[in-house]
Structure 1
Amino acid sequence: MTSLEGARERRIRTGGVELCVAELGDPGRPTVVLVHGYPDSKEVWSEVAGRLAGRFHVVLYDVRGHGRSTAPSPLRGGFTLEKLTDDFLAVADAVSPGRPVHLVGHDWGSVQGWEFVTVGRTEGRIASFTSVSGPSLDHFGHWLGKRVKRPTPRRVGQLLGQGAKSWYVYLLHTPKVPELAWRGPLGRAWPKILARTERMPRGDYPTRSLPQDAAHGAWLYRDNVRARLRDPRTDAHAHVPVQLITPLQDAFLSERLYDELEQWVPQLVRRTLPAGHWVPRTRPDQLAAWITEFVTATEDGRTQPAATGRHADRFGGQLVLVTGAGGGIGRATALAFAAAGARVVAVDRNAEAAVDTAERALLAGAPAAWAETVDVSDEQAMEKLAEKVTADHGVVDVLVNNAGIGLAGAFFDHTTEDWKQVLDVNLWGVIHGCRLFGARMAARGQGGHIVNIASAAAYQPSRALPAYSTSKAAVLMLSECLRAELAGQGIGVTAICPGFVNTGITSAAHFAGVDAEEERRRQRRTARLYGLRNYPAEKVADAVVRAVVRNEAVVPVTPEARLLHAMSRFAPRALRRLARVEPRL
Structure 2
Amino acid sequence: MEQWHHRTVIRDGINLATRRRGNPDGPAVLFVHGYPDNGDVWDAVAEALGDDYHLITYDVRGAGASSSPRGRQAYRLEELRDDLFAVIDALSPGRPVHLVGHDWGSIQAWEAVTEPGAEKRIASYTSLSGPCLDHIGHNLRATGAGDLAASLRQLAKSWYIGAFHIPALAPMAWKLGLGDAWPDLLRRTEGLSAPVSATQTRDGAQGVALYRANMLPRLLNPRERRTTVPVQLLVARRDRYVGPALLDSVPPWTGQLWRRELNTGHWGPLLGHAPLTARYLKAFIEHIEGAPADAALQRARVTAADGPDSGKLVVITGAGSGIGEQTALAFGARGATVLCTDIDPDSAARTARKIQDAGGQALSRKTDVGNSRSMEALARYVDKELGAPDVVVNNAGIGLAGPLLDTTVQDWKQVLDVNLWGVIHGCRLFARQMVDQAKSGHIVNVSSASAYLPSRALPAYATSKSAVLMLTECLRAELADQGIGVSAICPGIIDTPITGRARFVGVDDDEQSRRRDAAQRLYHKRGFTADRVARAIVDAVQGNRAEVPVSVEASGMRLIGRWAPGLARRLARLDVAP
TM interval, shorter chain, is 0.7 to 0.9
Separation of aligned partners in 2, 1:259 and 1:442: 25
1:105 aligns with 2:101: yes
1:157 aligns with 2:149: yes
Once the two structures are TM-superposed, the CA of residue 426 in structure 1 deviates from its matched residue by: 1.6
1:475 is matched with 468
Shift in alpha-carbon separation, 1:130–1:389, aligned structure 2, 3 A: closer
Once the two structures are TM-superposed, the CA of residue 81 in structure 1 deviates from its matched residue by: 0.5
String of CA shifts for 1:302-345, please: whole Å, max 9, x gaps.
99838855334552xx5x55444454444555566667776766
Separation of aligned partners in 2, 1:237 and 1:269: 16
Separation of aligned partners in 1, 2:362 and 2:200: 41
Once the two structures are TM-superposed, the CA of residue 482 in structure 1 deviates from its matched residue by: 1.7
Separation of aligned partners in 2, 1:158 and 1:389: 35
1:250 aligns with 2:230: no
Once the two structures are TM-superposed, the CA of residue 199 in structure 1 deviates from its matched residue by: 4.3
Q: What letter is aligned with 1:110?
A: S
Which stretch has the larger CA shift, 14-23 or 81-90? 14-23
String of CA shifts for 1:33-85, please: whole Å, max 9, x gaps.
43332223344445555565688665443323334x41333264332201110
Once the two structures are TM-superposed, the CA of residue 87 in structure 1 deviates from its matched residue by: 1.6
String of CA shifts for 1:113-146, please: whole Å, max 9, x gaps.
3322333363643444443322222233344456
1:214 pairs with one of 204, 211, 216: 204
2:61 is matched with 64
2:36 pairs with one of 28, 34, 39: 39
TM-score, length of structure 1 as denominator length: 0.79
Separation of aligned partners in 2, 1:284 and 1:536: 46
Once the two structures are TM-superposed, the CA of residue 528 in structure 1 deviates from its matched residue by: 4.7
Q: What letter is aligned with 1:216?
A: Q
Separation of aligned partners in 1, 2:401 and 2:461: 7
1:171 aligns with 2:163: yes
Separation of aligned partners in 2, 1:96 and 1:446: 35
Once the two structures are TM-superposed, the CA of residue 165 in structure 1 deviates from its matched residue by: 1.0
Which stretch has the larger CA shift, 440-449 or 248-257? 440-449
Once the two structures are TM-superposed, the CA of residue 565 in structure 1 deviates from its matched residue by: 4.6
Shift in alpha-carbon separation, 1:445–1:524, aligned structure 2, 3 A: same
1:224 aligns with 2:214: yes
**Structure 2 unpaired stretches of 5+:** none
Once the two structures are TM-superposed, the CA of residue 108 in structure 1 deviates from its matched residue by: 1.4
1:518 aligns with 2:514: no
Separation of aligned partners in 1, 2:204 and 2:142: 32
Shift in alpha-carbon separation, 1:196–1:397, aligned structure 2, 3 A: farther
Separation of aligned partners in 2, 1:26 and 1:354: 48
Once the two structures are TM-superposed, the CA of residue 240 in structure 1 deviates from its matched residue by: 4.0
Separation of aligned partners in 1, 2:542 and 2:311: 8
2:443 is matched with 450
Q: Is the 8 A contact 2:171 2:204 kept in 1?
A: yes
2:225 is matched with 236
1:132 is matched with 128
Shift in alpha-carbon separation, 1:235–1:583, aligned structure 2, 3 A: same
Once the two structures are TM-superposed, the CA of residue 373 in structure 1 deviates from its matched residue by: 3.9
Q: Is the 8 A contact 1:306 1:367 kept in 2?
A: no
TM-score, length of structure 2 as denominator length: 0.80
Once the two structures are TM-superposed, the CA of residue 480 in structure 1 deviates from its matched residue by: 0.9
Shift in alpha-carbon separation, 1:336–1:156, aligned structure 2, 3 A: closer
1:419 aligns with 2:412: yes
Shift in alpha-carbon separation, 1:351–1:269, aligned structure 2, 3 A: closer
2:490 is matched with 497
String of CA shifts for 1:536-579, please: whole Å, max 9, x gaps.
54554554455445433223345654565566567777766766
1:186 aligns with 2:178: yes
1:141 is matched with 137
Once the two structures are TM-superposed, the CA of residue 454 in structure 1 deviates from its matched residue by: 1.6
Q: Is the 8 A contact 2:16 2:60 kept in 1?
A: no
Shift in alpha-carbon separation, 1:530–1:442, aligned structure 2, 3 A: same
Separation of aligned partners in 1, 2:401 and 2:108: 64
Once the two structures are TM-superposed, the CA of residue 161 in structure 1 deviates from its matched residue by: 1.9
Q: What letter is aligned with 2:467?
A: A
Shift in alpha-carbon separation, 1:471–1:35, aligned structure 2, 3 A: same
Once the two structures are TM-superposed, the CA of residue 351 in structure 1 deviates from its matched residue by: 5.3
2:266 is matched with 277
3-state SS of 1:170 partner: helix
> How many residues end up aligned between the 2 structures?
569
Once the two structures are TM-superposed, the CA of residue 86 in structure 1 deviates from its matched residue by: 0.5
Separation of aligned partners in 2, 1:54 and 1:544: 45
User: Aligned Cα RMSD in Å?
Assistant: 4.3
Once the two structures are TM-superposed, the CA of residue 209 in structure 1 deviates from its matched residue by: 4.8
Q: Is the 8 A contact 2:170 2:208 kept in 1?
A: yes
3-state SS of 1:77 partner: helix
3-state SS of 2:75 partner: coil
Q: What letter is aligned with 1:65?
A: G
Once the two structures are TM-superposed, the CA of residue 389 in structure 1 deviates from its matched residue by: 5.8
Q: Is the 8 A contact 2:68 2:206 kept in 1?
A: no
3-state SS of 2:62 partner: coil
Shift in alpha-carbon separation, 1:390–1:270, aligned structure 2, 3 A: closer
1:404 aligns with 2:397: yes
Which stretch has the larger CA shift, 355-364 or 495-504? 355-364
- Written as runs of structure 1 = structure 2, the 5 A alignment for 1:282-431 is 282=272, 287=277, 305=301, 309-313=306-310, 315=312, 321-331=315-325, 333=327, 347-350=341-344, 369=363, 371=365, 373-374=367-368, 376-379=369-372, 382=375, 398-431=391-424
Q: What letter is aligned with 2:210?
A: L
**Structure 1 unpaired stretches of 5+:** none
Q: What letter is aligned with 1:164?
A: A
Q: Is the 8 A contact 1:354 1:373 kept in 2?
A: no
Q: What letter is aligned with 2:73?
A: G
